[in-house]
Amino acid sequence: MLLAAVALGHTPSTLLVADMFTSRRLMPGTDLTGSLKLAEADFKRILATENNPAAFTIAAKRAHKEGKPPTAILEYLDKAIAAGRDLPATSPPPSTGQQTADGASVRPPSLRGPKWSLEATCHHLRGAMLLKLGRPAEAATAFGIAARELDLVASCFQLAKLLPPDAPEREACLLRAAQAGHLDACRLLAEHWKRRAEEEGLAERERAGARMMSREWALVAEGYGETPRGPGAALEGFMEDAGAWRQ
């Protein structure tokens, strides 16, 4: 059905096939036959003649996989953003109601659906290229769009790494990524709560709670990550802190 739609000149189907080539490393030059050759030829036509943000994003992904310099990749990404700027956003996905330990919502009110397919990928890749060029403030803006507006987990994690350690949004971003299974986010959350437990002036119950949270996230990271120590190392002291916190 998909290749039949490509043969009929259906642009979204052509772009989907082109992105499948890219994601599976079937780059231009791969031995393609029949409808696949037609899809690749049609993609090149769309890229050359139409102001299509998805096509520009796919071209940027290909340039990245080919090892092109960040500036060349950014040219495609900037074209994609300009082409899609005035497009209407789709409806956002339903909120899962995730919250931080303080009760703050993890999913921001700015959440929306994408304006074009691969929009989130476009902003995330743009952030990565800006980081490579030593432009962290601009990278944070790009990751912020993908994280705050499009709920891309990878961008939530990257944005958290660029935020100050005491920024309230940092914990929310790390939590969003950790709850989606991002192990490095779990490790950073463990460090976040460890620092909080070491803050001066905390009541003993709050300190015990922070230590418990730190060990809990370390347990998640070690329990599901590749580590020779296993989850037992993170369990040390956990029950003691849990008892103190419940007092």
Rounded to whole angstroms, how far apart are CA atoms 9 and 6? 5
Confidence class for position 3, pLDDT limits 50, 70, 90: low
Q: List, in order, residues 6 or more apart from 110 with CB less than 8 Å away.
A: 148, 149
| CA angle 56–126–117, rounded 5-degree value | 45
Question: What per-residue confidence (pLDDT) applies to 142?
Answer: 98
Q: Are 147 and 156 in contact (CB under 8 A)?
A: yes
Confidence of residue 16 (pLDDT cuts 50, 70, 90): confident
pLDDT on residue 90: 85
- Kindly provide the residue ranges of all beta strands, DSSP E only, lying in 54-149, ordered along the sequence: none
| Mean pLDDT, the chain, integer | 82
Instruction: Say what the pTM is.
Output: 0.78
Instruction: Out of 34-43, 87-96, 229-238, pick the least confident.
Output: 229-238
231, pLDDT greater than 50: no
Report the C-alpha gap between 6 and 224 in whole angstroms: 42
What is the reported pLDDT for 15? Answer: 87
What value does the mean pLDDT take over residues 203-221?
Answer: 89
The size of the chain, in residues, is 247
Which residues are CB-neighbours of 149 under 8 A, at least 6 positions away? 108, 110, 111, 112
Q: What does the pLDDT average to over 140-155?
A: 95
Q: What pLDDT score was predicted for residue 242?
A: 41
Q: How far apart are CA 167 and CA 181, in angstroms?
A: 22
Token pair recorded at residue 62: 């290909």
d(CA 145, CA 163): 14
Q: Is 235's pLDDT higher than 90?
A: no
Tokens 């990749």 belong to 73
Checking if the pLDDT of 230 tops 70, the result is no
Of 21-35, 85-99, 149-163, 193-207, give the lowest mean pLDDT range: 21-35
Say if residues 215 and 237 touch (Cβ distance below 8 Å).
yes
Tokens of 233: 């190392």
| Range of lowest pLDDT (31-45, 85-99, 161-175, 193-207) | 85-99
Residue 240: is its pLDDT beyond 60?
Answer: no
